[in-house]
Amino acid sequence: MHEHDASLPPLAEQAAELKTCPRCGAHFACGARTGQCWCATLPPLLAVPGMEAGCYCPRCLAQIVAQQQ
């Protein structure tokens, strides 16, 4: 059995989380907990109506970004 390295966060905190897009229902991986989410590569957005419902999938978020530019 391996000992846990205290300098590393638990595996659950390192893994991407599976989410469902509130706009289209697509499933996608959210890496926000890992500190390396795909959405960090997109430009910052103004407030998005309904964002409190969760994260958007790559396709829907790209469409929202395009609409705001």
pLDDT digits (tens, 9 = 90+) for 7-60: 545 544 567 889 999 889 999 998 888 888 888 888 877 776 656 667 889 999
Cα separations in angstroms, 27 against 5, 6, 37, 44, 69 = 32, 32, 15, 22, 26
> Residue 23's closest CA among 3, 4, 48, 5?
48
Residue with structure tokens 């300098």? 7
